[in-house]
């Protein structure tokens, strides 16, 4: 039986670049990524250490035409691993590359991907934020007893978490946009 | 040519240009990747995420059209609108090239 391990890591919606680096480092130290369990469990199997590039794409159109989508990546030498919450995972060993390779070759398509993440993942979050969290905060703000104050603090924490997410997303989008316009 | 097409495709990315240039003949995404690599002596290597995204965007915008499927690979061909956009881009590149030559001669 192969040796396996489970790691807990949390990456926010827009931290896919950090996640890619994390998976690559694990593979370099002899742990191959084999599965993910929501919300933050990464499954690995022991393997020969190898430098393998991991990449994430977010493409609903691709998910709807899975066969053709995966075929395009396979043709270019990328192994398709899995889909998690709309993200598709791919990997390719550095030894099979002629030079540094990624699944995107220009900033314009990287920006398109962030746009798709925004539509698919951020807009629903903004919806929850505006329709649930903000109104609830106003509602519990005026209540006096201790239990309600507790709830108020929970909503405060959620508010901060959401704001961090939005700012993170905004910064990443803006950086890439700047790079594209240069 | 409407404002959206102009905004997105004039001027065009290198990937977009090579896709339209290649699709004057019908072919699938990966054969475009191979052809471009050959044409540029390996200098331009198109990536699958970029290719898939560009092809579906161009299909949606009506620059290219889906012809048929062969072994899970979608075959596309350029449309009238695609040709119009390509010709405009060719003129722009010609002007760029001419001015460059003049400036350095």
Is the pLDDT reported for residue A120 higher than 70? yes
Name which of B30, B42, B57 is nearest A75 (Cβ-Cβ): B30
Name the residue with tokens 């609108």: B81
Query: Which CATH number fits the domain that encloses residue B30?
Result: 1.10.10.10
Note whether B46 contacts A: Cβ–Cβ < 8 A. Answer: yes
Edge-to-edge strand list for the sheet holding A4-8: A4-8, A41-46, A31-37
The verdict on B41 touching A (C-beta cutoff 8 Å) is no
The string over B13-45, giving b where at least 16 C-beta atoms fall within 10 Å of a residue's C-beta and e elsewhere, is bebbbbbbbbbeeebbbbebbebbeeeeeeeee
Which chain B residues have a beta carbon less than 8 Å from that of A109? Answer: 13, 15, 47, 49-50, 53-54
Which of the four pLDDT bands, split at 50, 70 and 90, describes residue B35?
A: very high
Question: In a 10 Å sphere around its CB, with 0-12 CB exposed, 13-18 middle and 19+ buried, how is residue A40 labelled?
Answer: exposed
Average pLDDT value for residue range A118-123: 84
* A57 pLDDT higher than 90: yes
Residue A126 CA to residue A36 CA, distance in Å, equals 25
| Mean local confidence (pLDDT), B88-93 | 95
pLDDT at A78: 97
Give chain B's end-to-end CA distance (angstroms, integer).
36
How many structural domains compose chain B? 1
Is B55 within 8 Å of B64 (Cβ atoms)? yes
Residue span of the structural domain in which B61 resides: 3-104
Residue A175: band (very low, low, confident or very high) from pLDDT cuts 50, 70, 90: confident
Q: pTM of the prediction? A: 0.86
What's the whole-number average pLDDT of chain A?
88
CA of A117: how far to CAs of A13, A66, A156, in Å? Answer: 8, 18, 25
Note whether B40 contacts A: Cβ–Cβ < 8 A: no
How many angstroms separate the Cα of A149 from the Cα of each of A129, A160, B68? Answer: 20, 17, 62
What is the tens place of the pLDDT at every residue in A159-169? 888 888 888 88
């Amino acid at each position: 039986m192969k040796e396996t391990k489970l790691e807990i890591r949390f990456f926010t919606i827009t931290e896919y670049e950090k996640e890619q680096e994390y998976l690559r480092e694990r593979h370099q130290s002899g742990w191959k990524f084999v599965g993910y369990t929501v919300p933050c469990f990464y499954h690995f199997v022991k393997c020969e250490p190898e430098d393998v590039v991991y990449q994430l794409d977010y493409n609903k159109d691709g998910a709807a035409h899975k066969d053709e989508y995966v075929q395009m990546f396979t043709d270019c030498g990328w192994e398709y691993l899995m889909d998690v919450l709309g993200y598709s995972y791919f990997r390719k060993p550095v030894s099979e590359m002629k030079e540094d390779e990624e699944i995107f070759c220009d900033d314009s398509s990287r920006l398109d991907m962030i746009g798709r993440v925004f539509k698919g993942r951020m807009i629903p979050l903004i919806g929850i934020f505006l329709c649930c969290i903000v109104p609830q905060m106003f509602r519990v703000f005026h209540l006096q007893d201790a239990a309600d104050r507790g709830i108020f603090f929970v909503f405060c924490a959620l508010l901060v978490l959401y704001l961090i997410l939005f700012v993170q997303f905004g910064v990443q989008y803006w950086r890439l946009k700047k790079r594209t316009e240069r | 040519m409407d404002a959206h097409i102009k905004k997105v495709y004039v001027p065009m990315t290198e990937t977009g240009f090579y896709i339209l240039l290649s699709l004057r003949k019908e072919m699938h995404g990966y054969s475009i990747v191979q052809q471009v690599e050959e044409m540029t002596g390996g200098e331009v290597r198109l990536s699958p995420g970029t290719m898939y995204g560009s092809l579906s965007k161009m299909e949606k915008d009506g620059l290219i059209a889906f012809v048929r499927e062969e072994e899970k690979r979608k075959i596309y061909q350029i449309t009238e609108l695609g040709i119009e956009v390509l010709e405009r881009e060719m003129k722009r590149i010609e002007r760029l090239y001419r001015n460059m030559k003049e400036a350095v001669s």
